[in-house]
Each structure stands twice: as structure tokens, then as C-alpha cells.
């Protein structure tokens, strides 16, 4: 967790009760995948992959585009509310950003087979965890904000949470496109 708090008291650790107390928490915490004590971002990405496989028989390009487009404002809202309630601008347990961004990757690499999806997963996790270049830049845009002096920071928190993951998705797609081009 990034320790930028603005509300009195210590940061709130998410639990199943915290998640179920508010629909925004349930969404932001990836329907429980973000509650993992180990690598919640990876668990959120795995949840996204599983959900993609489950939804795929009923989806077409228009439906995927609509779902991903709807996930952006929904995620901004859910991540902002949850971050504020946790008193942390970018909590590690908030994984909706990984879910929405990895759906974008999977949608754009489809029809990729299992092993190509594994490569996409590994690349996305690399870019999201290591945060090289543009991903690190996007990640730091909303860090080190004084949310006490600037309460509007909480409204922007969800955007900051989601931005670096969509940049990581873009980097993942760029590497995959370059690999396919040079094959």
C-alpha cells in the first residue's frame, strides 16, 4: 500500500466484511481476488483471465468493447471510493485496474491460444509489477499527493490507480505486436 493517507487513523486493511459492506469495495477488490495476502495484483489478473474465459462464449467484439468501456468509469468510481475508505491513495488490494486492463489485452490478442495468453499474462504482470519507463511515469503521476491539503485527490485516486495498468496493457500489446511483426 502507498502510505498517503488523509483521513484520521491508520489505513484500513480490507477484509471480506469490508468488501461486502459497499458495492464499490466489491468491484475494486476484484470480487475477493484482491484480498489475497500474496500478490493481490497477480490474483486480480488471474481472476480477469478466468472471467474472460467464462464470458467468451457469449461475447463478440462489440460486447467486449462495451464491457471494457463501461469498466473504465465504473472502475474510476469504485477504486476512488475504496481508496478513500481504506485511507490509502493506491492500495495494493484494489485490483479492478488489473482486471479491466487485462481484459483489454486478452480481447485484443484474441484469437490467441492458451500459450499466447500465458505470454500476454507474463508480459502484463512484468510491466505492472516492475513499472519500467512509461508505466512508472504513469504510476507516479498521482503518488505523493497531499490528500489532506487537497481533498480532490480522492476523486482522482481511481484514475491514478487505473492509469498505470492501462499503460502496462499498452506496453504488453506493443511487445506482442512487435513480436508478431518480426516473426
105-126 per-position pLDDT tens digit: 999 999 989 999 999 999 999 9
Q: What is the pLDDT of residue 147?
A: 62
Write the DSSP symbol of residue 144: S
pLDDT score of 157:
84
Q: What is the pLDDT of residue 183?
A: 82
The DSSP annotation for 127-148 comes to HHHH--HHHHHHHHTTSS--TT
Domain range annotation of the chain:
16-181
pTM for the model: 0.90
Rounded to 5°, angle at Cα 23 from 19 and 28? 65
Q: Which helix (H) or strand (E) holds 94?
A: none
pLDDT of residue 34: 97
Dihedral class, residue 38 (left if φ above 0, else alpha if ψ from -120 to 50, else beta): beta
* pLDDT at residue 5, rounded to an integer: 45
* pLDDT number for residue 2: 45
Grid cell listed for 22: 459497499
pLDDT confidence of residue 142: 75
- Residue stretches of the chain with pLDDT short of 50: 1-6
Amino acid at each position: 500500500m502507498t502510505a498517503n493517507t488523509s483521513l484520521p487513523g491508520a489505513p484500513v486493511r480490507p477484509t471480506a466484511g469490508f468488501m461486502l459492506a459497499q458495492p464499490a469495495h466489491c468491484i475494486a477488490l476484484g470480487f475477493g481476488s484482491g484480498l489475497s495476502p500474496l500478490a493481490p495484483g497477480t490474483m486480480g489478473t488471474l481472476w480477469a483471465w478466468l472471467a474472460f474465459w467464462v464470458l467468451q462464449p457469449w461475447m463478440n467484439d462489440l460486447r467486449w468493447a462495451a464491457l471494457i468501456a463501461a469498466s473504465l468509469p465504473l472502475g474510476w468510481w469504485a477504486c476512488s471510493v475504496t481508496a478513500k475508505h481504506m485511507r490509502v491513495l493506491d492500495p495494493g488490494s484494489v485490483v479492478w485496474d488489473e482486471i479491466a486492463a487485462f481484459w483489454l489485452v486478452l480481447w485484443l490478442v484474441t484469437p490467441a491460444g492458451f500459450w499466447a495468453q500465458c505470454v500476454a499474462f507474463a508480459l502484463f504482470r512484468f510491466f505492472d509489477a516492475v513499472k519500467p519507463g512509461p508505466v512508472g511515469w504513469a504510476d507516479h503521476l498521482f503518488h505523493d499527493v497531499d490528500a489532506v491539503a487537497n481533498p480532490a485527490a480522492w476523486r482522482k485516486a481511481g484514475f491514478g490507480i487505473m492509469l498505470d495498468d492501462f499503460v502496462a496493457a499498452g506496453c504488453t500489446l506493443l511487445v506482442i505486436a512487435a513480436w508478431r511483426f518480426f516473426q
